[in-house]
Amino acid sequence: MSLELASFLSSSGITLSLFMGAVGLIVAIFLIRNVIKQPVGTELMKKVSGAIQDGAKAYLNRQVRTISIISIGLALVLYLMSLADKVHASMPIGFLIGAVCSLIAGYIGMKIAVLANVRTTQAAVESERKALNVAFNGGAVTGLLVVGLALLSVGLFYFVMEVIVPKGDPEQGKIVVDSLVGLALGASLISVFARLGGGIYTKAADVGADLVGKIEQGLDEDDPRNPATIADNVGDNVGDCAGMAADVFETYAVSLIGALLLGTLSTDTNDTMREVALALPFLLGGVAIIGSILGILWVNFRKGGASQLLMEGVLVASLFSAVVYWPLCQSIIPEGGLKMSSGTYSGTDLFWCSLVGIVMTFAIVLITNYYTATKYPPVNKIAKASQTGHATNIIAGLGVGNMATALPVALICAAIWISNSLAGLYGISIAVMAMLALAGIIVSLDAFGPITDNAGGIAVMADLPSLVRERTDALDAVGNTMKAVTKGYAIASAGVAALVLFGSYFLELQVHLGVDDVAFSLKDPRVIIGMFIGGMLPFIFTALSMDAVGRAAGAVVSEVRRQISERPGIMEGTDEPEYARCVDIVTKSALREMIIPAILPVITVVVVSAIPALGYTALGGVLVGTIVTGLFIGLSMTAAGGAWDNAKKMIEDGFYGGKGSEAHAASITGDTVGDPYKDTSGPAINPMIKVTNIVAILAIKVFF
């Protein structure tokens, strides 16, 4: 491939990828119309669904107001920094764009989920297969929305900055980096708030509902006599849909930005090489959107069981992407290879890096599925241990969670080694981008879970035949596994993406200090101190978020007990609970409790940077420590939580004693402990890791 042709393909490649992003959004709109056209069922179903919608809307409206105030304050700080010539004036604009897009992704994801849940319930009246299609298409809207919005927001902002700052300007690279760092910071910080707020909400309501409803009163899941039932169903949407959408949006956007930063910082002043290095990540994302659409179509039209079809959808998207990446990499890389400061890389090298990312995605999905699905030994082990009591259930769950870290981490190590051997740090960024490019189909699986969970709740509260609940429960069990799978995928990708950001920190530091190399030696005590501080950060972060769930759940327990005690007609079925009271309690608690954990990584980076004796050397150690411990904690918590949940469902399906047995009571305890593990603390580690890295890149310009 000649240099001129490669330059033409790369310059038009970003435009082509943006077109593919727009196609993803158009397909999402088509799916929205398809979901909305489905029947909604009886008046009672509409009433229950309306209550869930109102609760979710009320929470997210308050959350948007709270986060908007914080975002505007931070944007003002960045603006003042730009006046002091610490950062370019584009950074606060990029920050606001990232924040707004992250909020939009979460809000629309929640909105579609609450429209799909009642329609899934009605579809389950007809057949399990029809319910699967409605729920999956509702989730697919969120998946395509996330990747399309991320690709378009980063690409369009990059284009605008390219127009504003001409190529001849010697400061162009620095200005583009500043603007992209701002966008990444906005997306990541808002994602932490969304993940934490939604996670605290959903698990406080869930734990409170289970402790009083199931354990004290012997009520079934989603019994309308439980005052916390509506809050619990609302939580599924604001946590698993809105929170996950914002989370994966920022992971995708930040991974793309990380690849762009490396491309900018590693190609010196060679415009053609820089164009190629910047275009390839965009094209990988664009191609995978088409692959995700094909995977979605496969699930809709192929016959088979829910779990089988969903996994096949991922396989179809992966195979399509892998096949197209080969000619793409060969055509865009010029003859003689892509010349970067770290070496020269061929199209074949970069194709293998992208293939590493695809294989890693599918392997993480399979590994997490093994540790959380009911048909495999780990979940069976927890269910069997429940026969001997609550303590043995907890012990078994913790063991499964810890063991579930081994294979993913070994896989991540292999992926890093292979990608780095092929194309250095840029090769790792390509592997990460190929991995995140499949987020369209992966997020579809995740959003499928809360939709089916809500559908089951509506079936019970609307007093539909037991067959309907059996169908939704079967889909919900698959959904639980899919939620665990996607959380494992998000955390694993965050770990590797954070390594790319650390590489960006390293390169940006070299440019800023005007040196050829910056050493982070383990002989330097500042590095060790930084690693200890960074390693501590995920533990403190998860402790604060777990405590937040405990306090909010305690308030829900007190309110549910009060209502049942003061109004005996609730348990007799002659009086309707005050659902809105529990919704209001968890809403206020979640918004109040999310703030301190969310700003903890920012404060940590600022404090370490501001201490002259520590400086950028210790800060590098902080980043490494946070990545390593955060990865292990996140993987362990999400796997354990998913396994505990499905162990309970396995017992409820008649295994190891069935409903009402001692084993069932023990499994409820395990599930209650696992709830904040898998839906609050574990998933929130993902954006927290990246916030730490992005703020560190920003700190270079401010403190060093």
Q: What is the mean pLDDT of residues 425-435?
A: 89
Write out pLDDT tens, residues 441-466. 888 887 887 888 888 888 888 888 88
**Chain centroid offset of residue 496 CA:** 14
Distance CA 657, CA 231 (A): 30
Q: What is the mean pLDDT of residues 107-121?
A: 85
Structural tokens at position 652: 């409820």
Q: What is the mean pLDDT of residues 45-66?
A: 82
Write out pLDDT tens, residues 236-251. 777 777 777 887 788 8
In this predicted structure, the answer to whether residue 1 has a pLDDT above a threshold of 60 is: no
In this predicted structure, the answer to whether residue 408 has a pLDDT above a threshold of 70 is: yes
Closest CA to 255 of 182, 150, 396: 150
Question: What number of other Cβ atoms are within 10 A of residue 324's Cβ?
Answer: 18
Instruction: Indicate the SS3 state at residue 406.
Output: helix
**CA dist list (Å): 332 to 13, 284, 340:** 9, 12, 15
pLDDT number for residue 169: 59
Instruction: Indicate the SS3 state at residue 343.
Output: strand
**Chain centroid offset of residue 683 CA:** 7
579 vs 529: which has the higher pLDDT? 529
In this predicted structure, the answer to whether residue 2 has a pLDDT above a threshold of 60 is: no
224 vs 619: which has the higher pLDDT? 619
pLDDT number for residue 10: 59
Among 233-242, 424-433, 489-498, name the one with the lowest average pLDDT: 233-242
| 562 Cβ contact partners less than 8 Å away, ≥ 6 residues apart | none
Phi, psi of 404, deg, nearest 5: -70, -5
Are 628 and 661 contacting, i.e. CB atoms less than 8 angstroms apart?
no
pLDDT number for residue 295: 92
Q: What is the mean pLDDT of residues 81-85?
A: 83
Are 151 and 21 contacting, i.e. CB atoms less than 8 angstroms apart?
yes
Structural tokens at position 122: 């009605």
Distance CA 101, CA 249 (A): 8
| 687 Cβ contact partners less than 8 Å away, ≥ 6 residues apart | 188, 189, 191, 192, 195, 247, 250, 251, 494
pLDDT number for residue 626: 93
428 vs 214: which has the higher pLDDT? 428
Instruction: Indicate the SS3 state at residue 344.
Output: strand
500 vs 651: which has the higher pLDDT? 651
Write out pLDDT tens, residues 188-241. 888 888 888 888 888 888 888 877 777 777 777 777 788 888 887 777 777 777
Distance CA 468, CA 461 (A): 12
In this predicted structure, the answer to whether residue 335 has a pLDDT above a threshold of 90 is: no
Q: What is the mean pLDDT of residues 105-115?
A: 82
Write out pLDDT tens, residues 265-314. 777 655 677 778 888 888 898 899 999 999 999 988 888 777 788 888 88
Helix, strand, coil content of the chain in percent (nearest 5):
85, 0, 15
Among 166-180, 353-367, 402-416, 642-656, name the one with the lowest average pLDDT: 166-180
Instruction: Indicate the SS3 state at residue 339.
Output: strand
In this predicted structure, the answer to whether residue 7 has a pLDDT above a threshold of 80 is: no
Are 357 and 435 contacting, i.e. CB atoms less than 8 angstroms apart?
yes
pLDDT number for residue 271: 67
In this predicted structure, the answer to whether residue 633 has a pLDDT above a threshold of 90 is: yes
pLDDT number for residue 398: 94
Closest CA to 467 of 116, 128, 55: 128
Arithmetic mean of pLDDT over the chain: 84
Among 77-81, 237-241, 356-360, 684-688, name the one with the lowest average pLDDT: 237-241
Question: pLDDT above 90 covers what percent of the chain?
Answer: 18
In this predicted structure, the answer to whether residue 129 has a pLDDT above a threshold of 80 is: yes
Alpha-helical (H) ranges within 333-405 are: 347-372, 377-385, 390-403
Distance CA 633, CA 560 (A): 32
pLDDT number for residue 172: 62
